[in-house]
Amino acid sequence: MSNTDPLDRALRIGLVSISDRASAGVYQDQGLPALQEWFSQALTSPWQMETRLIPDERPAIEQALIDLVDNARCDLVITTGGTGPSRRDVTPEATRAVATKEMPGFGEQMRQISLRFVPTAILSRQIAVIRETADHAALILNLPGQPKSIKETLEGLKDADGVSIVNGIFAAVPYCIDLIGGPYIETNDAVCKAFRPKSAIRRPAQ
C-alpha cells in the first residue's frame, strides 16, 4: 500500500471521563490516566488521543461523543463512568442517543469479566455502539470508572501460567475498526493480542 493510504494513518482515540465530582475539581480523575497508560502499553501501531472530562449530564455526554466522532474524527471513543443504576448514571442513554447501531456483545462480555470479581457486576449497564456519518464511522465503548476494572475489561483475565480465562473486549476491537473503515491496529501481544480472521491479517511490510 502507498504511504497515503487512509488505512495506514494513526488511530484516533477519544477518551471521555464522566464524573460530576472530578469534572468539578473535587477529586482527581482516575479514568483518563488509566486509559492513557493502558493504550501506551497495548498499542504498537501509531495512535493519537483526544480527552474530555465532563459531568454526568446527558446533553454534555451526547455532545462530547458527537464532537469526537464527527469533528475530531476519532475511530474509537471510550467513556468511563456513569453506567450504574443511579439517577445520575446516564452514559448508556446518551450513547444510544448518538448511535447508528448497537454492538451488544461488548456489554455482555464486560459483565462476564466483572462477574468474576463481584456479583454486583449485573448492575452495570455498559454498552457499545457504532456511530456513522456520511464518510466516517467510530466504535463507542462504555467502560467502568475504576482503573483496575478498566484494565481487566480491556485485557481479560489470565491464570498464573498466563493462560486466558476470560477474553478481554479489546481483542475484538481492531477487527471491528477494520470492518467500519478505520486504520489497521496492531497490539502488543503480551498485553492484549488482537484477533482477526486469517484473511484479514496483514503481512509485515518487506
Cell of 37: 497508560
11-196 fold: Molybdenum Cofactor Biosythetic Enzyme; Chain A (3.40.980)
Residue 75's identity, in one-letter code, is D
Give me the residue spans of the domains in the chain: 11-196
2-49, pLDDT tens digit by residue?
Answer: 455 656 799 999 999 998 888 877 788 899 999 999 999 999 999 999
- Determine the pLDDT at residue 6: 59
- Determine the pLDDT at residue 170: 98
- Determine the pLDDT at residue 206: 47
Closest CA to 95 of 126, 71, 70, 62: 62
Cell of 150: 478498566
115-172, pLDDT tens digit by residue?
Answer: 998 999 999 999 999 999 999 999 999 999 889 999 999 999 888 887 788 889 999 9
